[in-house]
Amino acid sequence: MNKSELIDHIAADAEISKAAAGRALDAAVAAVKQTLKKGGSVTLVGFGTFHVGKRAARTGRNPRTGATIKIKSAKIPKFRPGKALKDALN
């Protein structure tokens, strides 16, 4: 499912216009991004939790030349599914 299909689905289920559903989805995604950027987490009970993980600095190899390179540490978004979501899939 891509973004436009998700907007269509939200609009049909909530009985709102596609434009309103698109704005609502964009606002929700922006809120999650903003919270993660501040280092927080977003918990949707029954769905899961978005949180920030840390990846340590490490050494890697350039696949083209084989030269060793340093890869900086980074913050990465992570998602931990909730029990209800896991149960819905099994």
Question: Same domain for 11 and 47?
Answer: no
For position 80, which CATH number holds? 4.10.520.10
pLDDT of residue 20: 96
Token look-up 């890697």 returns 60
Domain that holds residue 11: 1-38
pLDDT of residue 34: 97
Angle between helices 3-14 and 18-37 (to 10 degrees): 120
What average pLDDT values come out for the chain (90 residues) when binned by 10 residues? 96 96 96 96 96 96 94 96 94
CA distance 27 to 88: 26
Question: Same domain for 45 and 32?
Answer: no
CA distance 33 to 31: 5
The answer to whether the pTM exceeds 0.95 is no
Phi, psi at 67, each rounded to 5°: -70, 145
Question: Same domain for 45 and 89?
Answer: yes
Q: Any alpha helices (H) in the chain, and if so which ranges?
A: 3-14, 18-37, 83-89
Question: Same domain for 9 and 25?
Answer: yes
Domain total for the chain? 2
